[in-house]
């Protein structure tokens, strides 16, 4: 809490300002800025709202953060702002967990159905006016391994279970009888459980431990014909290794919403692979999501002003909101 003093809020947003900030503007001096002006906006600022959550400009402007107490990012992932200077500081970091859970779960169910029912081939045949009868797969009873057991992973697990699929999770700690996953395997044992899954869904946060976790060894451990879905972070995957197993036909397909380089370069072989579904980092973006992000920030802003506990406080050493903190919130 900063008492009766009017706080100064820097908002990193580029050209697209966040919608409906009137209530916050009535309570704070708001400095909207793009990347080039971030250092100036941070000087004397009490809080920073990183609305442009794909920007990597915060570390370069950190030297100007002379009064900053709180940083909020408008995404679930915090890797663009989690650098040594922030980790070592007393600045509280919060994120927007909870906004995208349901939408991303629906995306995952959608691509699972697209693979099983061969929707892309049906669309291609329709465009050619070609009538070709085929049989499709059932998803009921198929096994799914969701790698990442945070709120998004749990939402995915619940929806896929409701569709009749058999779901397990992989996370930091192993457990049994989990309400959403049933069995949760320790990430350190991931490769021994990959052969059991027909679908592997990556939704883990990006940390030093998870970067590049899906490499040639992991893909080789997967069941022949299995499908891989990445709605977490592009850097979870060694892209060249994924391309290799797709080319040799070991994997049955991949649905990729995130990439280690975005936008995906035009020369990437992923664009033209028949068994790959590509979307431009949009699995969680539903109609009205920008307003919802502002609502989440506004609620935390009110709490911050009132000296109340903030929601979605990130453990800066772990790189995500601990599950016990989520239960308390």
Computed on alpha carbons and rounded to an integer, the radius of gyration of the chain in Å comes to 21
Placement of tokens 């329709």 in the chain: 126
Q: What is the pLDDT of residue 204?
A: 96
User: What's this model's pTM, rounded to 2 decimal places?
Assistant: 0.92
What Cα–Cα distance (Å) separates residue 156 from each residue in 113, 236, 287, 323?
Answer: 14, 18, 19, 16
Domain boundaries, the chain: 8-99+287-328, 101-278
The domain made up of 8-99+287-328 has a fold known as Rossmann fold (3.40.50)
Contact between 23 and 1 under an 8 Å Cβ cutoff? The reply is no
Count CB-CB contacts under 10 A for residue 34.
Answer: 14
Please list the active-site residues.
Answer: 233, 262, 281
Q: What is the pLDDT of residue 110?
A: 98
Q: What is the pLDDT of residue 202?
A: 98
Sheet holding 92-94, edge to edge: 29-33, 8-12, 47-50, 70-73, 92-94
Q: What is the pLDDT of residue 4?
A: 63
Residue of 70, 75, 80 lying closest to 98 (CA atoms): 75
Q: What is the pLDDT of residue 328?
A: 42
The domain made up of 101-278 has a fold known as Rossmann fold (3.40.50)
Count of CA atoms in the C-beta half-sphere (13 A) of 278: 16
Please give the Cα distance from 113 to 136 (Å, whole number).
Answer: 10
Please, what's the largest Cα pairwise distance for the chain?
71
Give, for all 329 residues of the chain, the pLDDT tens digit: 455 689 999 999 988 999 999 999 999 999 999 999 999 999 999 999 999 999 999 999 999 999 999 999 999 999 999 999 999 999 999 999 999 999 999 999 999 999 999 999 999 999 999 999 999 999 999 999 999 999 999 999 999 999 999 999 999 999 999 999 999 999 999 999 999 999 999 999 999 999 999 999 999 999 999 999 999 999 999 999 999 999 999 999 999 999 999 999 999 999 999 999 999 999 999 999 999 999 999 999 999 999 999 999 999 999 999 975 444 44
Q: Comparing 8-99+287-328 with 101-278, is the CATH topology the same?
A: yes
């Amino acid at each position: 809490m900063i008492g009766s003093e009017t706080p100064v809020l820097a908002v990193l947003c580029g050209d697209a300002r966040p919608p409906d900030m009137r209530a916050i503007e009535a309570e704070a001096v708001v400095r909207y800025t793009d990347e080039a002006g971030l250092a100036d906006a941070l000087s004397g600022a009490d809080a920073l709202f990183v609305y442009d959550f794909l920007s990597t400009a915060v570390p370069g402007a950190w030297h100007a953060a002379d009064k900053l107490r709180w940083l909020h990012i408008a995404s679930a992932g915090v890797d663009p702002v989690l650098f040594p200077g922030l980790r070592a500081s007393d600045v509280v970091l919060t994120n927007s967990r909870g906004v995208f859970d349901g939408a991303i779960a629906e995306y995952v169910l959608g691509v699972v159905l697209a693979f099983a029912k061969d929707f892309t081939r049906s669309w291609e045949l329709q465009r050619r006016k070609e009538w070709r009868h085929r049989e499709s797969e059932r998803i009921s009873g198929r096994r799914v391994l969701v790698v990442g057991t945070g709120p998004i992973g749990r939402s995915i697990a619940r929806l896929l279970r409701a569709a009749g699929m058999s779901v397990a999770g992989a996370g930091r700690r192993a457990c049994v009888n989990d309400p959403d996953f049933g069995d949760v395997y320790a990430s350190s044992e991931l490769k021994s459980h990959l052969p059991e899954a027909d679908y592997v869904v990556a939704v883990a946060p990006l940390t030093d431990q998870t970067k590049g976790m899906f490499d040639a060894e992991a893909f080789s451990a997967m069941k022949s014909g299995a499908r891989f879905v990445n709605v977490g972070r592009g850097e979870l995957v060694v892209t060249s290794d994924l391309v290799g197993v797709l080319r040799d036909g070991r994997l049955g397909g991949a649905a990729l919403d995130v990439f280690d380089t975005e936008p995906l370069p035009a020369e990437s072989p992923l664009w033209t692979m028949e068994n790959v579904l590509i979307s431009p980092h949009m699995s969680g973006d539903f109609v009205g999501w920008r307003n919802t992000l502002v609502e989440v920030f506004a609620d935390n802003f009110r709490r911050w002003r009132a000296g109340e506990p903030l929601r979605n406080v990130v453990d800066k050493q772990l790189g995500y909101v601990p599950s016990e903190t989520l239960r308390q919130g």
